[in-house]
Chains A and B, each alone.
Chain A
Amino acid sequence: QQQVKQSPQSLIVQKGGISIINCAYENTAFDYFPWYQQFPGKGPALLIAIRPDVSEKKEGRFTISFNKSAKQFSLHIMDSQPGDSATYFCAAATDSWGKFQFGAGTQVVVTP
């Protein structure tokens, strides 16, 4: 069973537009929510992460919004650029558990 559900599976956005990817989780013990970016043939790299004591975190053009009561979090990519074209994975983990649960991934294509 997938403990972290990610949507959409893919999305196409025009340059300068906003990309939004959503994730939902079930286990209330999760306390660390990272987003990873992966380019074809490469390993994923951490993009941004949030803990449940804050509702939003922004780093440059990337923002995580976190809704603890709804058990949902999302990634917003503002002013999307062709170089942002990649697959994005959300994940959830607990310090005590040690294992990350990854979403299925979202392939983002930014058109010129």
Chain B
Amino acid sequence: DGGITQSPKYLFRKEGQNVTLSCEQNLNHDAMYWYRQDPGQGLRLIYYSQIVNDFQKGDIAEGYSVSREKKESFPLTVTSAQKNPTAFYLCASSIDSGDEQFFGPGTRLTVL
């Protein structure tokens, strides 16, 4: 059963803590993406990776970090430097950059 999985579905974090969101895909896609979604603002690109061991900053990368050590995995770390991290985080992948993006179910992060 191919697709994109994100875990956990809900995540709570105390201020000052780093937290890592998981994203795994078994679609054999080269490109992977992380988006942040806030009410009324659509999807904003945090980081993207077109190939293993390579990634680029998106429009709102400050306070976030990523790694792409394996083709199927693209974890996102929300660091304590991110001032307003409470949001819905979406991971996506595509066969290649510019192709249809398939989205995971999302992780809702709440900072307490």
Contacts and interface: CB of A to CB of B under 8 A. Distances in A.
A89 interface: yes
Interface residues of B, number: 27
A98 B31 CA distance: 9
Interface in B14-72: 31, 33, 35, 40-45, 48, 50, 58
Contacts, number: 59
Interface in A65-112: 89, 93-100, 102-105
B104 interface: yes
Instruction: Identify whether the interface residues of A are mostly helix, strand, loop, or mixed.
Output: loop
B98 A89 contact: no
B86 interface: no
A96 B98 CA distance: 7
B90 A43 contact: yes
Contacts of B106: 41-43
Nearest to A107: B40
A105 B42 contact: yes
A54 interface: no
B42 A103 contact: yes
Contacts of A103: 42
Given A44-B90, A98-B98, A99-B48, A104 B105 contact: no
A99 B45 contact: yes
B40 A98 contact: no
Interface of B: 4, 31, 33, 35, 40-45, 48, 50, 58, 90, 92, 96-106, 108
